[in-house]
A and B are shown apart, each in its own frame.
Chain A
């Protein structure tokens, strides 16, 4: 009787252990050639900040010969 119980517990534990080894068949698919990293706030800043754009344009123009 004891042996039977022990075998049953062992079988249950084995099932649980094997169940824990389950691996999802779903895979992460990434589009190639598409940036995957963190976003850069400078990108939106350059688009929306007119004052910054003005400053940069002045600097560009400052490279002309005097």
Chain B
């Protein structure tokens, strides 16, 4: 059993948005919905950093905790998925998510949002694997075919890693060792400066 996670190496991300395009293309995500996006800190300044953000498939997912209709489930590999047939589009998950991952396809009068849509780690959703119904609702099911999420596999610089957390951490550890020094991507100096 694995513990599926994404990790974006901010020292490698070049803000090409290839992951965003790969996600949109693979899952045929509708206009206005961004399952994945690239966020840049200190854009245009020396030392700017970019990271690719989507659903982080939290171990104790706050979206699932607040869902009034309990439409979320977590696979044994830690992929957080949801059933669109149950979703009522209330938006609680959007308020609860610290990454802004839940997306809603519609913005209409009286706050009508439509069913929530989010990154599925390219694992589709409930229903028959690889079926047309599954694709229409949730997008591609690459995991069932033994493939990783399209965003990670398309990343030109291998900044975005996806897979078993132990393996992803091991790859990142190797990189840091080769670069020398401690990773300061999310470290103290990155957050608070040198002071």
Instruction: Name the contact of B127 in the complex, choosing from A38, A45, A60 (C-beta under 8 A).
Output: A38
Please report which residues of chain B, range 51-78, place their CB below 8 angstroms from some CB of chain A when the two chains form the complex.
64-65, 69-73, 75-77
Contacts of B19 in A (CB 8 A): none
Closest Cβ of chain B to A44, distance in Å, is 9
Contacts of B69 in A (CB 8 A): 36
- Residue in B65, B71, B126 with the greatest tally of chain A CB atoms within 10 Å: B126
Q: A5 at interface (Cβ–Cβ under 8 A)?
A: no
Instruction: Name the contact of A63 in the complex, choosing from B85, B123, B147, B158 (C-beta under 8 A).
Output: B158
Residue of A nearest to B74 (CB): A35
Among B31-39, B94-102, B167-175, which stretch is in contact with chain A? B167-175
Complex Cα distance, B113 from A60, in Å, reads 36
Q: How many A-B residue pairs have CB under 8 A?
A: 94
Q: B146 at interface (Cβ–Cβ under 8 A)?
A: yes
Q: B16 at interface (Cβ–Cβ under 8 A)?
A: no
Closest Cβ of chain B to A60, distance in Å, is 4
Instruction: Name the contact of B77 in the complex, choosing from A46, A59, A64 (C-beta under 8 A).
Output: A46
Q: B2 at interface (Cβ–Cβ under 8 A)?
A: yes
Please report which residues of chain A, range 11-66, place their CB below 8 angstroms from some CB of chain B when the two chains form the complex.
30, 32-43, 45-47, 51-52, 55-57, 59-61, 63-65
Question: Given A40-B126, A47-B76, do A59 and B70 touch, yes or no (CB 8 Å)?
Answer: no
Complex Cα distance, B66 from A62, in Å, reads 37
Contact between B129 and A45, CB atoms less than 8 A apart = yes
Complex Cα distance, B168 from A55, in Å, reads 16
Closest Cβ of chain A to B79, distance in Å, is 9
Q: Beyond A33-B64, A34-B70, A42-B123, list 5 extra A-B contacts (CB 8 Å).
A: A35-B70, A55-B146, A56-B2, A59-B148, A59-B163
B-side residues, CB < 8 A to A, are 1-2, 64-65, 69-73, 75-77, 81-83, 85-86, 123-129, 141, 143-144, 146-148, 152-153, 158, 161-164, 167-168, 171, 174-175
- Identify 24 residue pairs between A and B in the complex whose beta-carbon atoms are under 8 Å apart, listed by A's number: A33-B70, A35-B70, A35-B71, A36-B69, A37-B71, A37-B82, A38-B83, A38-B85, A40-B81, A40-B124, A40-B126, A42-B124, A43-B76, A46-B143, A52-B146, A56-B148, A59-B147, A59-B153, A60-B167, A63-B148, A63-B158, A63-B167, A64-B174, A65-B174
